Structure 1
């Protein structure tokens, strides 16, 4: 098999590609940098592209964090701890993480938690009450719900 060197793109082409990439869905700096890596550009070109995306509002960390938090909560039913963990993994600042969490309505958060816990509890088909309780707890903790909520709910459902 013959080696083919990576295809090089011009800065203008790369800007267009990255504009489309960011317009399709909000992105964080880390995702954009990883995408730029695949284009095999020199560091100066990457910097120029990032600046262009920031100046033209294609890349906006706070907007990304807010939409990420709203989406993961509403669609995937993640708790705040999982959302925080994922945002930290994407190197989002503490300030933007706090701002993003304010997007989640507290009443909606609690009612979603109870709904999710009860629905999951009903679908666990293990007869041993201890195993059933453990499965529920593991599921909710993995989803990033706060420990005090999880253990309180598990106690409520298993008694």
Structure 2
């Protein structure tokens, strides 16, 4: 009897499809995990930068006895209007009226010895940080420094992706 065995050196189509399917599932899991890790890293970066801004604000307060916008430290001050506005309800940190980068040209701060920051940092989503003395969180007013988060929107009122450093309530 003469038996002939074929020596297969390849894979069947089914085996190849199973391997491709498994690789697809693994790569999907990896991409989702990396996206979540990246988002957490961005939020951690904001927390570190807000802490640095807070330290700069404390040094400015020690020199001038005021917060940005000539506000009284540790006091919530209601202002008219929303967002970045002329009467000081919220300040971008790059605005000289905030006093952290440059002295207020309109009303100079007494004993200003800045700049207190090297530059106005932007959050990881490209938005400027802000200082606000009447930030509304669920009906309570706070003095905060913060980021409007990934969506970049804020209207003097908290939304779920805002990242804040509370200064006073």
Return the TM-score normalized by structure 1.
Answer: 0.26
Structure (1 or 2) with the larger CA radius of gyration: 2
